[in-house]
Structure 1
Amino acid sequence: MEPVALTTPRFTLSAPRAADVDAVYAACQDAQLQRFVPVPVPYERFHAEGFVLELVPEWWRDDIEYVFGIRRAPDVPLMGVVAWQRARGYIGYWLGASHRGEGVMTEAVAAVIDWVFTHEDVDELRWEATAGNLGSALVAQRTGFRWDGTGRISNVRPGQEEGGWRAVLRREHLSSVQPAAEWPVLG
């Protein structure tokens, strides 16, 4: 598939591009991001170049994963990414430290969820995170995901044995008038 761009009231979501290598590199230096996102540690500039210049275009072209960079305007560097791993049905995301706590990710994830359910023949999305990633869990809860339990997750750094949290968002949840069940990890 050719990359598409999405817009929200505050953001543009589009595939990362060459000008974003520095922003990706800088964001992936953050210790919290490295703890919760399975990026290489140490994260080197060539990792950012490979992600932006090789992997993202390949994943879009081969319909494997659709990666959207989050921007305040189309011509500014990205703040973070939201990705839908089409082959696995998972949605994942990360945000640069200076942009956290502003509702950025909730708005961006909601836009990607809407796009997936509108443009793809998909009945559910899955989310998982390393246990303790409260920010990611809050975004998942706020965008309608339902708690699905704890246990081993697939998206961890090699050699990492931490447990994880899981949630699911089904198409029928979108029209439900029932509030989402409580998330025990968010107390």
Structure 2
Amino acid sequence: MQPVVIRTARLRLDLPLPGDADAVTAYCQDPIFERWLTTPWPYTREHADAFLGTYVPAGWATASELTWAIRAVEGGPLLGVVSVRETQREIGFWMGAEHRGAGRMSEAAAAVSEWVLGGGIPESATVFWRAVEGNIGSAKVARAAGFRRIEPEHATVPTRDGEGTLPAWYAVREREADPRAEASWDGILGARS
């Protein structure tokens, strides 16, 4: 599959490039990455080079994982990353610390979900989200992006080393807006006023 550019009112989602390695390396030093994500830890420049030079291009070439850089403008600096694993239609994302809090991540996650459900990945009825239990920031993004929280019997996420699992929160987003979506988050995020 060829990389796809997605535009929103404030963002351009395009292919992460080797030139983004300094930003990826810097952002992935954030201690919340160690706590909530499965990215390597400690994260090094070599990890960023492998991610951008091998992992991202291979994911697009095989359509196994489609990864976008989040930018404000074409050719602008990397703000964060959003991706979808094709087989499960599972979305994942992170944003550089200085770019959080302005709704950009929710905007990007919603745009990618709409692209998937609109035929970007054929025969997709849902997009799936999960995060380590307690990751309030990710849950807020999922809620704002229109996901409905679900509670499967075995809600886990793999550990960084792949040897075990951690308790997780799950959610889905369907093609049509689900009127239950907003209230489904009340138990962990509280009701929005």
TM-score (norm 2): 0.90
Which of residues 154, 163, 169 is equivalent to 2:167?
Answer: 163
1:160 and 1:22 map into 2 onto residues whose CA distance is: 31
1:37-48 equivalences in 2 (<5 Å): 37-48=37-48
Give yes or no for contact 1:130–1:156 (8 Å, CA) kept in 2: no
For each residue in 1:122-180, what CA deviation from the matched residue of structure 2 results, as whole angstroms up to 9, or x when unmatched? 001110001111111011111111111275423431256431111111223x2x45653
Give yes or no for contact 1:126–1:169 (8 Å, CA) kept in 2: yes
1:43 and 1:60 map into 2 onto residues whose CA distance is: 23
2:36 and 2:66 map into 1 onto residues whose CA distance is: 20
Give yes or no for contact 1:20–1:78 (8 Å, CA) kept in 2: yes
For each residue in 1:75-120, what CA deviation from the matched residue of structure 2 results, as whole angstroms up to 9, or x when unmatched? 1221111101111220110001111111110111111011111123
Unmatched 5+ residue regions in structure 2? none
Which of residues 143, 148, 153 is equivalent to 1:141?
Answer: 143
1:62 and 1:161 map into 2 onto residues whose CA distance is: 27
Which of residues 182, 185, 188 is equivalent to 1:180?
Answer: 182
**Do structure 1's residue 130 and structure 2's residue 111 form an aligned pair?**
no
What amino acid is aligned across from residue 135 of structure 1 in structure 2? G
1:52-71 equivalences in 2 (<5 Å): 52-71=52-71
Percent identity, please. 39
What amino acid is aligned across from residue 125 of structure 2 in structure 1? D
1:146 and 1:90 map into 2 onto residues whose CA distance is: 14
Match of 1:154 in 2: 157
Unmatched 5+ residue regions in structure 1? none
Please state whether the residue corresponding to 1:163 is helix, strand or coil. strand
Match of 1:78 in 2: 78
1:134 and 1:51 map into 2 onto residues whose CA distance is: 26
For each residue in 1:40-89, what CA deviation from the matched residue of structure 2 results, as whole angstroms up to 9, or x when unmatched? 11111100000001000000000101101100111122111110111122
Alignment root-mean-square deviation, CA: 1.6
Give yes or no for contact 1:19–1:77 (8 Å, CA) kept in 2: no
For each residue in 1:18-55, what CA deviation from the matched residue of structure 2 results, as whole angstroms up to 9, or x when unmatched? 11011111110000122111011111110000000100
Ranges of 4+ aligned residues in structure 1 off by more than 6 Å = none
